[in-house]
Each structure stands twice: as structure tokens, then as C-alpha cells.
Structure 1
Amino acid sequence: MLHPQARALLDLMEQRGVPPTHTLSPADARAFYRERRSVTQPEPGEVAEVRELAATGPHGTIPLRLYRPLGTSRAALLPVLVYYHGGGWVIGDLDTHDTLCRELANLSGCAVVAVDYRMGPEHRFPAAVDDVLAATRWVRKEAGALGLDATRLAVGGDSAGGNLAAVVAIAARDAGDLPIAFQLLIYPATDMRRGHASHTTNGQGYLLTSDSITYFHDHYIADPKHDLEWRASPLLQDKLAGLPPALVLTAGYDPLRDEGLDYARALTAAGNRASYVCFERQIHGFITMGRVLDEANTAVALCAVELRRALTSARR
């Protein structure tokens, strides 16, 4: 059964005539996503420090935002999560996920560096992949100057950001120059073919619809052949051994649920440590909605605990 709070949110959106994302232009969809966060997100929590930074990449400057958790000093060398926001590779930015990054920092005791990567349709695949890889390498290179511990670096993200985090973990393994200690994959998109059963069973009525998924896909992927590339569909990477430990979190009423589960299974089958948790009564995008969904706060706390445990273990 859908959680009553999620049901109430969906009913309210319908009553207020909230337009589906696929009916909006990318510019309007971005503005609407940014504006509506005040309705569902908690107030941004206080942290010890917020710094605006910029990394360099193959396509130009990449804006970053560094969060240091409450109770830490600038002198402390902190483990770090490099976080890639969700939004279908088309919408979302540093501000839409500001509250979540603050929560993850404070609850885990780790620093968080959020990445504002390039998006479609202006910058199509693989521009986002190029940006997040470059940004993560930059964070590792500059870690000492930023008060971060490069030996305890994790990657994470939600939805499209979860896809990018999975891709970064694979690319870093293959390159051998970017040690990653943990991957936090929150309802990740892992298969651009969009053929899993949950795309049908959950494709309408639960916020993220099949129409919006197609909208996001088509603004990001220029050539259908790219669907088969592992940098777009990490589930299709046939060599998944030797990857960092992972937490894969999904939602029961999410079209992406089954591909998230299959990715967790594939990680485990390849010999990696992977934990899988499904919030059976929730919808896609719920983790940022702690103002109206109690289970969002539970999910954030779970992610923070697993992040803290993984990066503490990495130090030993």
C-alpha cells in the first residue's frame, strides 16, 4: 500500500493542477523544480561551513558546493561524499539538493561536495559523465587544501545522480587513479532501455511517470545506441567486480525500482559488498521530501549511518 503521506501529496498535487514535467520546457521545468522545493523539503539545517568552489573539466568550469558538518573545525581532515543531484540529467542544481546535502553532512559527520554538472538538452551524454568525473578527480587532488581526506572519498547521488555515481565508480576502478571507498545509490537509473516491469506497473500515477522518463531520456541521450553504453546504463557493464561497497536504496512505487534492485543483485553477484533497501510505500524522489514524508527522514538517516560506517572502516 502506498504510504498515506505519499498519497496525500499526490492528491494535493493533482488538486492544485501541478503540471507534469514532460509538459514543460527544460527552462520552465528547472525553475518549477527549484521553486517547489519549499513545499516538501525541510528548512536547510545549519552546518559549520558552506563554500562555493569551482573545478575545471573538459567542457569548462564546474560549480561545486562544499559542506562541513556542525561540530567540526577547519583543521579537521574529514572524509568526503561527492554528491551528484537528481533531476533526469535535465533539471536540478546545487540549490534543489542543498537541504539534503546539509542533512547528509550533519548526520554522517562527513563533508559533502555537491557537483553542478552540465545537463541536457544543451549538453547531452556524455557531458554529465565527463563533468562528474572531472569534479571528483579535482576534489581528490585538492583534498588537502580543502581539509578533506582523499583516502576516504565516497560518491553518491539520487536518480540521475545515482546513475552518475555508479558510472564514476566503474570508471574510477578502470582508470586506477581515483580510489573510491563507497557508493551511495539512491533510486538510481541503471538501464536506459527502460524495459523493467516496474516501468509499466509504476509508470503512471506516482509522480515520476513514463512520459517524464521519456522526456528526460530524450533530452539527455542524442543517439539511441548510447542506451547500450555502460556509461549511460551501468547495469549493462559486463564487468562489475572490484567496485567499492554500495548502498542501493529504492522506492516501491518508483518506475526505477526494478533496475535498482537488479543493479544491487549484479554488484553482489560480481563479488562486491552491496546492501539493498526498498522503501516499499514510497515514490520516486521521496528522500528530499522530509517536510511532508516521515520516511524521507528515515531514509536520509539510513544513508548517513551507512556513509559514516563505510568511511570509518576505510580509514582502518
Structure 2
Amino acid sequence: MANKSVDKKYHYLYKTTNLINNKYYCGIHSTNNLNDNYLGSGKRLRYSIRKYGKDNFKREIIKMFDNREDLVLAEQEIITEQVLRDPLNMNCMYGGESFNTIGMVTVKDKEGNTFNVFCDDPRYLSGELEYHLKNTVTVKDKNNNTLRVHINDPRYLSGELVSNMCNIIRVKDKDGNIITTQINDPRYLSGELIGITYKKVVVKDKDDNILQVDINDPRYLTGELKHIWKDRKHTKETKEKIGKINSIKQKGENNSQYGTCWITKDGQNKKIKKEELDQYINIGWSKGRNYIVL
């Protein structure tokens, strides 16, 4: 798609300042009208304009350029990490047209405004700013429309809206290729496809760094790496929340185990359709599954 900004007559780098609190935004603009009253399109800038009104902002042209290409390069040089870390700056990403947000995270404030900050921003680390998708879940309605709602949305808790990942599992084939499929996929039930966490365990080292290793990893077997839940327990409140959600979500056909059962043989666990149980029993499998003893 052609970039219409390239064909504009004027190209300039500008700075828009909030006259109330001195916060500023730097940006670029291509236009045929220098008097179009353009203030900028940054997310935090828009929030600020909505709060204080356009009359409390001043835009100044810093430099004119002959073409869009040189303008973009100038923005890359101007809007750096140092500028983004300035408490008065309202830019949300590095300069340029690549939407560069390396080292940043999208957050929301107590008013619900979303923007980017650096991962080590004290407001993010303290919890004042939260990850913008915290406590939300992607769901689909009865018409398969996809939307994102809060985990306490009554429609989600009642089962009217179903998690987008309900009855979905990530698996890998014999070549290690990872795909997403239904839990009743014949290839998964037969063992041709196996879960990506098969024979894996999530552990922590002595510095509490979390990683995933094979269950036969010597560091795990010797106790150098410990299971992430060792010496930890769910609180009573958390258990009640989990139980409440599962009591709704795991009814009938929505239950991930519906119409299936586990079998085991030589240390391998497999989930199969119940009607296939007899044929597996006849070739040496046993009903149930083995668990890793911590």
C-alpha cells in the first residue's frame, strides 16, 4: 500500500507541549496545510488533550524537511531511550515508523488509559501501572465472535462466553514442530502428537529463576533444581475461586476429560476415547496414569 504521506508538500518535526504541566510530545507530520492545527496522534498525548483541552497545548515546528524519508530518519535520532525515560515525555515508542517498543510493556493506569512504559518503570514494578491484559481472557460467543473480557465477567463465569483456548492444546509432532489442535484430535489421542510439556517440568533454581527442563535432567533429579510448587500451597481463597470456575466450566461436554480416560504403559501416559479402552488393555496398557513423585 502506498504511503500517502510521501506525496504531501510539507514535512516537519514538531513538539507539542502541555501548558499546564509542561509535559511534551515529539512527532512528525506530513501535510499540504501548515495551518491544519495538528497536535499529534500519540496515545498519551490524546489522553492529555482530552483531559486538559486543546487550548492548553502549544505545537512548535522544530525543523522542516524536503521529504518524508529524511523526516523519519530525524525522528529516529530525536526520540531515543533517554527521551522516553524523561518523566515529562509523552511518547510511547522510539522514533521512526517501525513501531519499536523493545524493552517496553503496554500498561494501563487506574483510569483505564493504556500506554507503553519501560519494564523497569517504578510505577509498573510497584503495581501502580498494571499490564493492560491483566485479569482478562479471550473468549468466543455462541456465534464464534472473539472478544476479550474480564475474568469475572458474568457471561464468562456462567459459560455463556467460552475461553478461546477451551479444549485446545499445543502439541508437537515427531519432528518437533509445534502446532495447536483440539484435545480430541485422533493424532493426539493416538500419541502421534504429544503435548509440548510431555516429560517436562517447571522448576526454580537457588536464585528463584524459573525454567522448564526434562524430568530426567540431572539437576532436577539431584534436587539442585526444585519443582516450582515445592514448599508452596494455594491459599484457601484461591482454591475457592478455582473450584467455583471449574464447577461451571467443566460441566458435561465442556469437561476436558469428557468421553476420555487415561491409560499408562512403561511410564508413558496417554488419553484415549473410552470406547477404545478395551483394545488398549488387550495390548498391555493399564487404566490410569503415573505421576511424577517430587
TM-score (normalizing by structure 1): 0.19
RCO higher in 1 or 2 (8 Å CA, sep ≥ 6)?
1
More strand per residue: 2
| Structure index of larger Rg | 2
TM-score (normalizing by structure 2): 0.20
